[in-house]
Structure 1
Amino acid sequence: MPAFDAQDLIERYIGVWNEPDPEIRRKTVHDLWAEDGLHVLRPPQEMHDRAVALGFGTAVLEARGHEELHARVTRAYEEFVAPGTYLFRIQEPARVLRDVVTFRWESFDRGEDRVTGGGLEFLVLGEDGRIEADYQFVD
């Protein structure tokens, strides 16, 4: 695996979720994730509980490959950032152990000037330094 700057990686990662330009967002998805990269989300507790109540043993959401990843990032942008309500920010610096990078992030409500949520990101990198698996744990 080539040397990389983990802090730069997570800044670009958070940046893509806040990116207003669809073409820059698409290019950044391609730059950050491997072609068959995976984003797995353990949803917020309320959503998880509703899925279990419907008979699912667990609730896990995933997007695989550049097209699904771009759609996932775009949907999050459109729902949370585009209306001007939220901004995603890094809460704590990157930690690295071999091919794994972890960090905490937060959602910030601009109107109320307060943190409204966040989570833990667990990134597994491939030999080329791009994300192969992205595990997101929402608080």
Structure 2
Amino acid sequence: MSKVADFVARYTAVWNEADADRRLKAIGELWASDGHYANVSEEYRGHEQVDAAIREAYEDFILKGFTFKVHEYHENHDAVRIIWHMVPAGGGDVAAVGTEFIILDADGLIRIDYQFMDVDPAAQ
């Protein structure tokens, strides 16, 4: 597994992680201590706030029967773009599509993570 493939797998796993302690540990291994995550409505800075954002998504989607899966990803120097799908955990149609645009620091930790909600081409 390449370094970027490993990063993408660990990034995706943190959004699906049920155990709060493992999730917080994974956040510390992925984000810089002052890392920034921004979705379409809020901004979060630092491990505690990023944890709150991920916990909220977990409660809103994973606990309601969905899971996040990588559709594709691309790397460009210190940036990674991940296109993900939210799907029913038991299988079924894509319920949501999003893109993460991530800038990494010199240590390979997330400095900035911008989330964009995309339109599923199949739904058009």
Same fold? TM cut 0.5: yes
Give TM-score scaled by structure 1 length. Answer: 0.79
Q: Are 1:29 and 2:10 counterparts? A: no
Q: Are 1:115 and 2:94 counterparts? A: yes
How many residue pairs get matched? 117
Q: Deviations over 1:34-73 (max 9, x none)?
A: 000000112xxxxxxxxxxxxxxxxx42111000001111
In the TM superposition, residue 7 of structure 1 has moved relative to its aligned partner by 1.1
Q: Which amino acid aligns with 2:92?
A: D
The gaps in structure 2 that reach 5 residues or longer are 119-124
Structure-1 residue corresponding to 2:7: 9
Choose 1 or 2 for highest CA Rg. Answer: 1
| 2:75 corresponds to which of 92, 96, 113 | 96
Q: Which structure ranks higher in relative contact order (CA pairs < 8 Å, sequence separation ≥ 6)?
A: 1
The gaps in structure 1 that reach 5 residues or longer are 43-59
SS in 1 for 2:108: coil
Aligned counterparts of 1:113 and 1:98: Cα–Cα separation in 2? 35
Aligned counterparts of 1:21 and 1:123: Cα–Cα separation in 2? 24
In the TM superposition, residue 121 of structure 1 has moved relative to its aligned partner by 0.8
SS in 2 for 1:66: helix
**Superposed CA RMSD:** 1.4
In the TM superposition, residue 112 of structure 1 has moved relative to its aligned partner by 6.5
Give TM-score scaled by structure 2 length. Answer: 0.89
Aligned counterparts of 1:112 and 1:96: Cα–Cα separation in 2? 28
Aligned counterparts of 1:138 and 1:30: Cα–Cα separation in 2? 25
Q: Deviations over 1:50-105 (max 9, x none)?
A: xxxxxxxxxx421110000011111111111023x10000011x211110011200
Structure-2 residue corresponding to 1:74: 55
Aligned counterparts of 1:23 and 1:32: Cα–Cα separation in 2? 14
Aligned counterparts of 1:95 and 1:119: Cα–Cα separation in 2? 14
Query: Identity across aligned pairs (percent)?
Result: 38
